[in-house]
Amino acid sequence: MIQENAIDLLDEPLLYLQQVLKILAHIFPQGPEGVHGEEHFNVTEKDMPIRVATSSASGTYEAPWTATGSLTKDEPERIHYDLDFLYVSKQRGKQVNLHFEGTWKFQKNKQTLDHGLDVQGYDVFSLGVRDKNIQGQRSVDYGTTKKKSYTT
């Protein structure tokens, strides 16, 4: 069941996707056209941090950081990536390794939802500023609020 903090469920994958794309853009500044077959990389950036953000969350991975891994262009419009990202977390006070693996596919046509899609069991949430009362204290934050459930 999705809770009121569902915004976090939306933010996290978007922030990680931004991180992967920024790492790859740093390593391959010519973009996907610069990837031919299989490419291996081992890059350490000493000065430039990686900053990611959505309208409700943000993060910074301070330099120095290291990215190692490979890209494989197995079709003209599809690239498989497998990379490890190492950085020192100031919050945790230690080195952290994030592993990312996936497929980056270029689609020229927009994806659409079928108008006949069965929405039974779906919930609708609004996204915006929420005013809450938590243990007698007023709290304002940005997130999701459940608006409606579809039962038919």
Dihedral sign, Cα of residue 92, residue 44, residue 63, residue 58: negative
Say whether pLDDT at 1 is over 80: no
Q: What does the buried/exposed string (b/e) look like for 36-69 if buried means 16 or more CB atoms within 10 Å of the residue's CB? A: eeebeeeeebeeeebebeeebeeeebeeebbbeb
Q: Which of 29, 21, 18, 63 is nearest to 45 (CA)?
A: 63
Q: Label residue 69 left, alpha or beta by phi (over 0 means left) and psi (-120 to 50 means alpha).
A: left
Residue that wins the pLDDT comparison between 35 and 38: 38
* CA atoms of 108 and 50, how far apart (whole Å): 28
pLDDT digits 0-9 by tens, 54-93: 888 899 999 999 999 999 998 877 889 999 999 998 888 8
Global pTM reads 0.68
